């Protein structure tokens, strides 16, 4: 029997992040703290749109998640429902930003677990399912030590090369988030987070951004606002995240993943730039300005 639970998703206002406005672009410099890449001397770039863009993001402050099938089976799905019980897409229908530097983060994999859960980007309403390979359920070789999931309304465009990261192309998925708070979350939980840093992972030649963030309800959230704060209050965490994602495929006989940007975490400004760019890529996708391929747009 399917289980249904209620989770907080968003405030009463929502944005698709694509209004005509000034956006601060960073200029790169060296940074001494923690070996991170830092960006300052920001300049404003006014983004222009040929026509207003309206998104279908839900306004209801609560969504429900409905589990269908049994966990750790091929049929298991976690669907998202709006207040009327209608299925909605966690990728497309939950807003990315709540304003004031706050973003929604959807948990796919709770910390200290190893079932490789992910939003099914090629299925209607993009439910969360366990990933498979050759018909078998996939697991990480060991537990992941942080809550892991995605930023809604983002997309790493596989047709776009990133000149700053070895010309790597996007991996055709939403942007990943590594949430470093102390609480183990649940699959399908929607958290309000603030981004802190970014890691440019290169997985078999594809660019797979990892945004490091913290949930606003974490006891240490008020202490961390940028990459140097993470080093201070969560010492060793950024290195541990990089090493975990670098090495997790090795036990299966695959080569280690690599990281761009000098193998270092970029700071918050750079993370926000990545979020903005991938949100614009998502907007082009749902407006069908680019080929969606097998991706579900609802």
CB 223 within 8 Å of CB 234: no
User: Is 51 inside any structural domain?
Assistant: no
pLDDT (average), residues 10-37: 41
pLDDT at 281: 98
User: Is 29 inside any structural domain?
Assistant: no
Give the residue from 170, 119, 115, 122 showing the smallest Cα distance to 139: 115
**23 burial class (0-12, 13-18, 19+ CB within 10 angstroms)?**
middle
User: Is 57 inside any structural domain?
Assistant: no
Using pLDDT thresholds of 50, 70 and 90, give the confidence band for residue 7. Answer: low
User: Is 30 inside any structural domain?
Assistant: no
User: Is 69 inside any structural domain?
Assistant: yes
User: Is 97 inside any structural domain?
Assistant: yes
Cα 82 to Cα 2, 63, 79, 150: the distances in Å are: 16, 5, 10, 19
Burial 98-133 (b: 16+ CB within 10 A, else e): beeeebbbbbbbbbebebbbbbbbeeebbbbbbeee
Into how many domains does the chain fold?
1
Q: Is 270 a catalytic residue?
A: no
- CATH number for the domain that contains residue 135: 3.90.80.10
pLDDT in tens, 31-85: 444 444 444 433 333 333 333 333 445 444 479 999 999 999 999 999 999 999 9
User: Is 10 inside any structural domain?
Assistant: no
Residue 293 main-chain phi, psi, to 5 deg: 60, -130
**134 burial class (0-12, 13-18, 19+ CB within 10 angstroms)?**
exposed
Q: Which residue in the list 59, 103, 139, 140 is annotated as catalytic? A: 140
Using pLDDT thresholds of 50, 70 and 90, give the confidence band for residue 19. Answer: very low
Which residues span the domain enclosing 270?
Answer: 64-287
User: Is 112 inside any structural domain?
Assistant: yes
238/38: higher pLDDT: 238
pLDDT in tens, 99-118: 999 999 999 999 999 999 99
Answer whether residue 280 shows pLDDT above 50: yes
């Amino acid at each position: 029997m399917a289980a249904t639970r209620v989770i907080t998703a968003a405030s009463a206002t929502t944005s698709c992040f694509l209004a005509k406005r000034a956006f601060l672009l960073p200029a790169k410099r060296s940074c001494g703290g923690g070996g991170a890449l830092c960006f300052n001397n920001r300049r404003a770039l006014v983004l222009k749109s040929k026509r207003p863009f309206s998104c279908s993001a839900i306004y209801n402050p609560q969504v429900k998640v409905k589990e269908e099938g049994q966990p750790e089976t091929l049929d298991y799905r976690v669907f998202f429902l709006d207040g009327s019980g209608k299925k909605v897409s966690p990728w497309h229908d939950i807003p990315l930003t709540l304003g004031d530097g706050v973003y929604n983060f959807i948990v796919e994999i709770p910390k200290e677990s190893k079932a490789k859960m992910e939003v099914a980007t090629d299925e209607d309403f993009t439910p969360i399912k366990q990933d498979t390979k050759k018909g078998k359920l996939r697991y990480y070789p060991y537990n992941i030590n942080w809550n892991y999931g995605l930023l809604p309304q983002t997309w790493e465009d596989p047709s776009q090369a990133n000149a700053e990261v070895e010309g790597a192309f996007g991996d055709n998925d939403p942007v990943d988030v590594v949430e470093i708070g102390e609480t183990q979350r649940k699959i399908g939980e929607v958290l309000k987070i603030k981004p802190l840093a970014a890691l440019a992972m290169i997985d078999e030649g594809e660019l797979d951004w990892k945004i490091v963030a913290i949930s606003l309800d974490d006891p240490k959230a008020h202490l961390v606002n940028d990459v140097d704060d993470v080093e201070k209050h969560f010492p060793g965490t950024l290195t541990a995240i990089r090493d975990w994602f670098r090495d997790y495929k090795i036990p299966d006989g695959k080569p280690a993943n690599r990281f761009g940007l000098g193998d270092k975490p970029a700071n918050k400004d750079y993370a926000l730039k990545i979020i903005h760019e991938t949100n614009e890529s998502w907007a082009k996708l749902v407006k069908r300005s680019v080929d969606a391929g097998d991706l579900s747009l609802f």
